Chains A and B, each alone.
Chain A
Amino acid sequence: MNYFNFAFITLLFPFLLTENKVAVVTFEQLQTYAAHKYNDTLYVVNFWATWCEPCVKELPAFQQEYKKYAGHKVKMIFVSMNAPRDLEKVQSFIDNQKLGPLVLLLNGGNPNDWIDKIDSSWSGSIPATVMYKSGKKVYFCEGSFTPESLEKVIQSKNK
């Protein structure tokens, strides 16, 4: 894409750029995205990293669910555990994979301070997925999903 086209598209569809831009957030900021929202949207928060093979493998399933539930009060938030200096790597990964819309890179400091706040049973390995609804945690899983198992969980939590 040449510069003119790029500028033109940016002008017409600025959201295309902003929506898929990885935001670096603190743990407190991450919580405001999902856990503290008192509405009936189901927030599916997936912890992943570009270097984590099982994470990368299950991402298409999340993407598929995101498309399936578009407009149905289900939102996906992908939280990268890559180091903040990997920001560009994460950005180009999600650009290639068309992952989104909401991808965050957590710059949370010492994980020992926040892992238990997600779930006390979480050992810290990824992938891990937590779901919130109406400001409450409704599901936590440390491990991988198949497309079928993810669909089943989302279906049951989205009632």
Chain B
Amino acid sequence: MKKLAFISTVIIALCSFTTTGYNVGDKAMDFKLKNIDGKMVSLSDYKDAKGFIVVFTCNHCPFAKAYEDRIIALNTKYASLGYPVIAINPNDPEQVDEDSYVNMQARAKAKSYAFPYLVDETQSVAHTYGAAHTPHVFILQKSGSDFVVRYIGAIDDNSDDPSAVKQKYVESAVDNLLAGKSVSPSSTKAIGCSIKWKN
């Protein structure tokens, strides 16, 4: 019984724990994660990129599914302009089989992803960045050898209905960065599926 009380105390403590991670303006760390083709991918591999649209996403989450075509469209529009999409799945596949490596490969193939879909096996990238849910976007701008966080948040203001979107947050952020302007809003919030952290 004592043990039980201890466990529940820990859980309460975890509950009020505020997520840490990057703020806008912070320098983001590079990473080396396995892509669905088995090759390792790092931000530094992209010599010509001006920045990145890093999206923490997954297979199973209805919000991630709702945004899948919009993520593909972002890459189509911005990869050639120097801001490719880097998709990262941080979920523990032990908890959600749909998010397993094999299922990631199947999903990327079915939707012909033209961008990397990386697996964050140790979840350290999601932890360091402060990703909390899927999809969760971090726009990074290259500055010398640094990657500076310029935007954190949602893709747009309507997950449910792409035709009813009024504010395309990510597009406007990248457009502003390409035009040498500051990003506003530089952070937004949206409802999403919590990342399935390993126990």
Is B193 among interface residues, defined by CB-CB distance under 8 A? yes
Is B163 among interface residues, defined by CB-CB distance under 8 A? no
In the complex, what distance in Å separates the CA atom of A49 from the CA atom of B133?
14
**Contact call A153/B12, Cβ cutoff below 8 A:** yes
Chain B residues with CB below 8 A from A152, complex form? 8-9, 12
**Contact call A126/B8, Cβ cutoff below 8 A:** no
Range for the number of chain A residues in contact with chain B:
20 to 34
Is A99 among interface residues, defined by CB-CB distance under 8 A? no
Is B62 among interface residues, defined by CB-CB distance under 8 A? yes
**Could you name 12 residue pairs across A and B whose Cβ atoms are closer than 8 Å?**
A81-B191, A111-B154, A112-B189, A123-B19, A124-B191, A127-B194, A140-B16, A141-B15, A143-B14, A148-B4, A148-B11, A152-B12
Is A110 among interface residues, defined by CB-CB distance under 8 A? yes
**Contact call A145/B15, Cβ cutoff below 8 A:** yes
**Contact call B190/A124, Cβ cutoff below 8 A:** yes
**Contact call B189/A143, Cβ cutoff below 8 A:** no
Residue-wise, chain B 156-184 has the 8 Å CB interface mask toward A (1 for contact) of: 01101000001100000000000000000
Given known A-B contacts A125-B133, A149-B15, A116 and B191 have beta carbons under 8 A apart:
no
CB within 8 A of B153: which of A49, A112, A149? A112
B→A interface (CB under 8 Å): 4-5, 7-9, 11-12, 14-16, 18-19, 62, 96, 132-133, 136, 153-154, 157-158, 160, 166-167, 185, 188-195
- How far apart are A91's CB and chain B's nearest CB, in angstroms? 18
Chain A residues with CB below 8 A from B96, complex form? 53
Is A9 among interface residues, defined by CB-CB distance under 8 A? no
Given known A-B contacts A51-B62, A143-B15, A145-B11, A124 and B4 have beta carbons under 8 A apart:
no
In the complex, what distance in Å separates the CA atom of A141 from the CA atom of B136?
19
